[in-house]
Structure 1
């Protein structure tokens, strides 16, 4: 039994060190492929017999500065100030759930980035726990600029379309650094469900969300990484 617990301890230490190594590596190396992309591709292969995955990594300075502002305004307006978690939003979501209201997400951009870069999608306490752990690591090791860079390159922005450059090319026929404020707001408007909503063919609902996000973009603090 003593030997067993020693093995358990050693495995935990190895996994801990491996996770830190992962985060350190991806502080400098582009995240060309994520676990979510792999999962989607495997599903496609077995259900459709083919793989579709639009993704081109570009550095943050090759993305319109309006896009970070749009996603902060839409998804996480305290991104530049919090340490990875928006506890007020978490508490609000819990209160609404207890009152029987529809469950809504309270994940920050940091948490979404941790999930996209290192973990699988799904609802479980284990995954949420690991997401929180990786969120702390990337806030400490990466910092806000790198978190935003990975987020804008890895998040799904359309059906099988990942990242700013891919959606800019596919939906607007231009590079990500040429996106206008309105186009950035449209992309941000689709993020709650990019498989359902299309920034190239926005519904009336998405147009309304776009208008709201554009308004918020003028009110949230500037997203300045310098």
Structure 2
């Protein structure tokens, strides 16, 4: 995962380079050299760099950015060689600090790599959750279709009872058969007197109590 994400990070930086090399910093980027990249880096850091960018600067060049130490900075030209060859497509850099500074130079976001990696993980988690939700929805729909077909077939044989007013008897019979089938009660479609209703597990429990009460009343009457 980490290796794949790093490759995506480098690919994103290279794409951004191809876009910006003909823009505002054309003179520095169109035909980059270590000296040009060093000078552009100084120019960029003179304009309110973020703390993350300052950390990248220090990690690669082994010195803090300081306006009063430009001469010391100029001695660091060779540190920009991996960035030069990366932009030219000659090498695939392994030094994460050089890669992060390349991101600063072309203003690639999100950076540094730590933030890019975190964003990728968040997006991946969202995709997994969305996939899980979609799979649950499909399974629920299958259950609805399965139960609807089952209840419909059962109801066709009990229409005469419904016409005679034996509603509770019909519902009890269908409900018992649904439970026997061991179908998930979270999404149940019951058909009664031409009406389709979506019944949750809580509703099924209530319906079960109603049926039991009805049976008790019938026994007392007898």
Higher relative CO (Cα under 8 Å, sequence separation at least 6) belongs to 1
TM-score scaled by structure 2?
Answer: 0.28
Q: Max radius of gyration: which structure?
A: 2
Q: By percentage of residues, which structure has more helix?
A: 2
